[in-house]
A and B are shown apart, each in its own frame.
Chain A
C-alpha cells in the first residue's frame, strides 16, 4: 500500500503540570485538499502545527508526508523547517512594520525565488550573506498572479499600519502562498474577516490547493464554515481529566484509535 500523503501520530508534551501526555493521530488520504483542525483553546492546535512545521520538536511520535519522514522521535529524525516542503501561517500573523505591503510581498517572493534556484537545503551561509544584499522593488509575474488570486493587488501601496485586520489576514495568506510547498499549515487564517469573505477566500484556497496539488491543514474555531471545503476534520477534545489516560497505559496502536482525538480522515474511499 502506498504511503499516505499525510500521516501524523504524536504524543504531545505534558502541559500545565498535568501528569498526562496527550496523543493525537490523524492522516490524510488525498493528494490535495484541506484538512480541518478544530478544538477549544488550549487543546494543542498550535503545538501540533509547530511540530509539523519543524519549528518545535517538543513531542514524541512521527510525522510523515508522502512517505518521507519529517519527524520520528524513535529514530531521532527531526528535519528543521528549512528541510521540509512546508509553509506555515502562524495565528495572528503580522506584516513587517518597516515595510509597506508591496515590500512585504517582494521580500517573501525574493526568498522563494532564491529557494527555487536551488539552495533551500542545505542552507549555506555564504549564499544567504550574498542574497541578503540583493534587493528589488518589483514583484515577479508568478507572485503577482497569486496576489491577484487573493484579491490584495489593490493594497500594495498601503503601509502596513494602514490596514484593517481583514486586509492583514488576506495579505498574510497571500504571502504564505508565495512559498511553494507540499503542505500548508494555516493557523486561523480567516480571523478578522467577515463571513462572506471567509467563504469566498476559503473557495479560493481550495481551488488553489487543487491546482497546485498541495495539502493544507486549517485550524479553525468554527468548523462549520470550512465543512464544505475540507476533505476531513480533526477534532481535539478539551483538557478534561476523564478524557485522559496516562500515556503509558494506552495501547501502542495507531494514533487514530487512541487518545482524545476524534478524527475523520477524508478521502475518496
Chain B
C-alpha cells in the first residue's frame, strides 16, 4: 500500500518538476528579457497560484477540464479518458499549482546576470538564441536546480489540489499525503505515521539540497576577471 502511494508521489513529483523546469526556461526568459508590458500581467497570472487556495484551484481545474466543456472534451478525446480523476489530470494540476515555485528561481537567476555579459555576447556576434543557450542558461544552472527542487518538494507536499482533482484512487492518484489523511480517518495511525515520516524525509532532503545550492549559487555571476 505504502509502496503504491510512494511511487505515485515520486512519479508525479519527478514528472512535474522536470516538465516545469523545461517550461520555466521560455517563461522566465519572457518575464525577464521581454520589453513587452504584458510581462507584468503574465507574472501576476504565474504567481496567482501562490495566493490562491488549493481547493479553489482544484475546483477550477475540475470545471475547465470537465468533459462537458470544450477543453475537457478535447483533452478526453486526446487521452481516451477524462482528465480529472486520472494520473494525467493530477500531473496537469500539479504543474499549474507548482509553476511559480519552479519559475521564480529561474527568473531570479536570469535577472542576476549582469547586462554587460549579455551585451558582450551580442558584440561578439551572438543572436538571441545563442546568447540564451551559451550564456544565460550556463550562468543560471543553480537557479534551474533550485527551481527543480522547489517544484519537486512542493508537488510532494501538495494536498488540496490532489484531493480535488485526483479523486484518491489507490495506485493511480493516491499520493502519500492523501494516504496519510485516509489512514488517519480510518483509524490506522501506523499507516499514517509511515507516510508522514516519508514526507518529512522528502522535505528534509529538499531543504538540504536547497541549502547546498544556495551555498553554490551566486558564484557564477561574480564580478571577477573585471
A interface residues (Cβ-Cβ under 8 A, vs B): 53, 55, 81-82, 87-88, 90, 92-99, 107-108, 111-112, 114-115, 120, 123, 125, 127-129, 131-133, 160-161, 163, 165, 168, 175, 178-179
A179 and B125 form a contact (CB under 8 A): yes
Given A96-B135, A161-B225, A168-B225: A107 touches B124 (CB 8 Å cut-off): yes
Given A94-B225, A97-B224: A132 touches B119 (CB 8 Å cut-off): no
| Chain A residues closer than 8 Å to B127, beta-carbon distance | 123, 125, 127-128, 131-132
Considering the complex of A and B, which 8 residue pairs feature the smallest CB-CB distances, nearest first?
Answer: A128-B127, A111-B125, A132-B133, A132-B130, A132-B129, A129-B129, A98-B138, A128-B129
The yes or no answer to B122 lying at the interface (CB within 8 A) is: yes
A160 and B128 form a contact (CB under 8 A): no
B128 and A163 form a contact (CB under 8 A): no
Q: C-beta contact mask, B109-131 vs A, less than 8 Å → 1, else 0?
A: 00000001101111111111110
Q: Complex: how many Å from CA A111 to CA B119? A: 14
Residues from 122 to 149 in B contacting A, C-beta threshold 8 Å = 122-130, 132-135, 138-139
A175 and B124 form a contact (CB under 8 A): yes
Given A55-B123, A98-B138: A132 touches B132 (CB 8 Å cut-off): yes
B interface residues, tally (CB under 8 Å): 27
10 contacts between A and B (CB under 8 A): A94-B223, A96-B135, A97-B220, A97-B222, A111-B126, A114-B125, A131-B127, A132-B129, A132-B130, A133-B133
Looking at the assembled complex, report how far the CB atom of A225 sits from the nearest CB atom of chain B, in whole angstroms.
21
A98 and B139 form a contact (CB under 8 A): yes
The yes or no answer to B79 lying at the interface (CB within 8 A) is: no
Query: Could you tell me the dominant secondary structure of chain B's interface residues?
Result: helix
Residue of B nearest to A133 (CB): B133
Looking at the assembled complex, report how far the CB atom of B70 sits from the nearest CB atom of chain A, in whole angstroms.
33
Q: Complex: how many Å from CA A87 to CA B222? A: 25
Partner of A111, one of B130, B132, B138, B226: B130
B interface residues (Cβ-Cβ under 8 A, vs A): 116-117, 119-130, 132-135, 138-139, 220-226
A94 and B226 form a contact (CB under 8 A): yes
| Chain A residues closer than 8 Å to B129, beta-carbon distance | 125, 128-129, 131-132
B120 and A90 form a contact (CB under 8 A): yes
| Chain B residues closer than 8 Å to A168, beta-carbon distance | 225-226
Looking at the assembled complex, report how far the CB atom of B99 sits from the nearest CB atom of chain A, in whole angstroms.
25
